[in-house]
Amino acid sequence: MPVQWVLLLSAFLFSVGIYGVLARRNAVIVLMSIEVMLNAVNINLVAFNALLQETHLMGQIFALFVITIAAAELGVGLAIVILIYRNRTTVSIDEVSLMKW
């Protein structure tokens, strides 16, 4: 299996994630888009590990860390979103711009 394909897939997922982050108003969907980006990273890591036949398995371990931390981040992120929702009854990101300039 050519590694190019895998890499292309990950680049694609990564870009789609970026689009989601930039275009979606709902904070939760933005979080989901970021998860997609992180998964793109994981695909890379694991694929490279397989490609290089690397014995220390750093790629896979790295991926494990990413998954774990992504989950933790998501927890905090959702807490923040809920906090905002509680105060303003909206989770639209572009309405959150009290502070500027």
Residues 45-84 close enough to bind other proteins by CB under 8 A: 45-54, 56-84
Compute the least distance from the CB of residue 90 to other proteins, in Å: 9
**Distance of alpha carbon 10 from alpha carbon 8, whole angstroms:** 5
Binding residues for other proteins restricted to 7-46, rule: CB under 8 A: 7-9, 11-46
Compute the least distance from the CB of residue 95 to other proteins, in Å: 9
Compute the least distance from the CB of residue 71 to other proteins, in Å: 6
Q: How many residues sit close enough to other proteins to count as binding (CB under 8 A)? A: 96
Token output for 41: 């990273």
In the chain the first and final C-alpha atoms are separated, in Å, by 51
